[in-house]
Chains A and B, each alone.
Chain A
């Protein structure tokens, strides 16, 4: 019974982290699906989302507003607006001019952008950890009081629900809306879509904006969950999310969701049963293994090399 409760606890923690990874991974997978590049600066956009959310929360607190739902919604909207604008601008400045060149060129440009954004926030806000107030406290506990208790906090429930809402909205958007249909067309065949009258530049911008907005949601949620943020925390999270995207099959949106959850659970199991220090080793090791043995991921389509 004890063991089962402990296992359940790790599972819950893993799914919590995993669902935020999935939110970030969407940005990677959509961009990759459409223009075939790794948006290296995506982790930084997520970090900027977290900073904006924190600025909005402290700003509202300074104004004396204490009604929790209002604070959360305002922080979320602010973070989404700033991150989306950032995503749009990054695509415009760093990626559009180099689109269609040799594969390495957009990638190096993206690394440059990532370093730039990291240092932009570092210079503006300092390099220290900043505490993120825990706005949502408390939770449920299971199990007898004298032994190990499985707990699930309200924060974790919030993360699940928010992720679920975002994913549902995204799926509806992609499958039903006009832009979503255009997105799917562009990702199948960019040239053909353009011939058929789709403004591909706009669709590519839209993908960056959507990915960035979801990353901002993840930024707010993870910031609250971890309780502190710093300018470098986007880098590792971005890498993890990329792993999740590859795991699920890059280019596939359901794949990114699945990959995020699997990665989150794998990580929390490692820290629960082995040691917390090695969880990054496990996720990078997982990434290397997938790329070696199944580069198309779990739900991805095989890529044909054309001459």
Chain B
């Protein structure tokens, strides 16, 4: 056994060197029209060697380490606890949620402008992730082109405001409904496909939407995007220093306070907060309704669910459409927050980030998804010096999550009875 382990460990160490050294150890540098090769710093070379040694040692003592790790879950006292009683859990959850919402309402008035802006972005991601959670977490449909619906929402608002001067409040339902229509139209043919084919088709669809946005220059401005998207108004009151549209008044004049650019940012934050709360509540309701149960039933066992008389197409379609609807919501807010959108904001990576949020949070669990959205958006901001490693860590986290904890950090818990093992 020891000899076998040694051979395997050596092999793994060599593979580590092969995959790490050429890419990390040499840098391709363009000098004029030529490319020259430069050796990397000694530090990099040493760390590559160190990595190989670590892999070697780990593989050599793999059995011992795994045995040690096997004991670790026993240290977590919560691992095997029974889920809380339904009524108690509901009460606790609603108390916590109310406290969080109250906190979130007061909080922006005491902090800096930058953090409110970031918080708005977090809320947009929360909306997106909650919407995708319906599709991926509850209905079990892997949608890799989710960002397309987000783009539909954002571009609807941008185009309507550019060509017809439609305001935010009118564009919000239109954008969401249009995104939902896109979801319906796309979903109808593709939802018959099996899980992984569906993933690829939605991915292709997302790319098609982006390419179309990029190339229909006369309508969408192509890669230059659309700018000058108006801010939302509060009952016809604008937040700018001067009123842009006839008949509107400005917020600071109406209330007789000094103009401050922070008003607009806080207002946007509050809108995003309200919309995110609405999203969460609506989806929470839906989860408890027959349609929500049907989503989960279909996810767990499609054949069993169909044999009980659930219509596969309509159940999946409802999840897909509702997910798309909230993406459209988020898109409209995003367009309004940025004031400028271009196809660059709607690349596949965005879909992957939202998917990562859902996966990290625990598919199906709302609280988990919200916490994951906050973590994924804020952590890179806190650790700025590591920001370029953000996506690297993301990818690694997705793999590790799937390997070790596919149910996510805060999985959805259900009351259930487990049969005790017969001795």
Contacts and interface: CB of A to CB of B under 8 A. Distances in A.
Interface string B366-403: 00000000000000000000001101101111110111
Interface in A67-88: 78, 81-82, 85-86, 88
Given A52-B23, A116-B399, A131-B35, 19 more contacts: A58-B28, A82-B22, A85-B19, A89-B15, A93-B399, A103-B195, A111-B355, A116-B394, A118-B391, A125-B23, A126-B27, A131-B30, A131-B33, A133-B35, A239-B204, A287-B200, A291-B197, A305-B303, A307-B303
For the complex of A and B, 8 pairs with smallest distance between CB atoms: A112-B398, A116-B395, A115-B395, A284-B204, A109-B402, A119-B392, A112-B399, A85-B18
B402 A278 contact: no
Given A59-B37, A108-B359, A131-B35, A281 B395 contact: no
Interface in A212-228: none
B391 A115 contact: yes
A86 B19 contact: yes
B24 interface: yes
Interface of B: 15-16, 18-19, 22-24, 26-28, 30, 33, 35-37, 136, 140, 142, 144, 189-190, 193-197, 199-201, 203-205, 207-208, 211-212, 214-215, 303, 348-349, 352, 355-356, 359, 388-389, 391-392, 394-399, 401-403, 406
B196 A107 contact: yes
Nearest to A59: B37
Nearest to A98: B402
B142 A88 contact: no
A281 B208 contact: yes
A119 B395 contact: yes
A113 B395 contact: yes
B37 A58 contact: yes
A269 interface: no
Nearest to A86: B19
Among B27, B144, B189, B392, find the residue whose CB has the most chain A CB atoms closer than 10 A.
Answer: B392
A278 B215 contact: yes
Contacts, number: 179
Contacts of B397: 112
Contacts of A278: 211, 215
Interface of A: 37-38, 48, 51-52, 54-56, 58-59, 62, 78, 81-82, 85-86, 88-89, 93-94, 97-98, 101-109, 111-126, 128, 130-131, 133, 235, 239, 242-243, 246, 275, 277-278, 280-281, 284-285, 287-288, 291-292, 295, 305, 307
A137 to B, nearest CB: 15
A114 B196 contact: no
Contact of A109 (B194, B208, B399): B399
28 contacts: A48-B23, A54-B35, A55-B23, A55-B37, A58-B35, A62-B36, A85-B18, A88-B15, A94-B399, A94-B402, A97-B403, A103-B196, A105-B402, A111-B355, A112-B397, A112-B399, A116-B396, A118-B391, A119-B395, A131-B35, A275-B215, A277-B215, A278-B211, A288-B201, A291-B193, A291-B201, A292-B193, A295-B194
A74 B157 CA distance: 55
A107 B28 contact: no
A122 to B, nearest CB: 8
A55 B402 contact: no
A285 B203 CA distance: 11
Nearest to A81: B18
B142 A107 contact: yes
A126 B194 CA distance: 38
Contact of B395 (A104, A117, A126, A280): A117
Contacts of A55: 22-23, 26, 28, 37
Contacts of A119: 389, 391-392, 395
Contacts of A108: 142, 355, 359, 398, 402
B193 A295 contact: yes
Q: Is the interface of B mostly helix, strand, loop or mixed?
A: helix
B402 A124 contact: no
A191 to B, nearest CB: 21
Given A107-B142, A288-B190, A94 B208 contact: no
Contacts of B23: 48, 51-52, 55, 82, 120-121, 124-125
Contacts of B28: 51, 54-55, 58, 125, 130
A280 B207 contact: yes
A235 B348 contact: yes
Given A113-B399, A281-B211, A292 B37 contact: no
A52 B394 contact: no
Contacts of B200: 38, 239, 242, 246, 287, 291
Contacts of B193: 291-292, 295
Contacts of B16: 89
Given A55-B26, A112-B395, A292-B190, A89 B19 contact: yes
Nearest to A38: B196
A88 B144 CA distance: 26
Nearest to A63: B37
A114 B399 CA distance: 10
Given A103-B195, A112-B398, A120-B23, A62 B37 contact: yes
Contacts of A243: 204
Contacts of B190: 288, 291-292
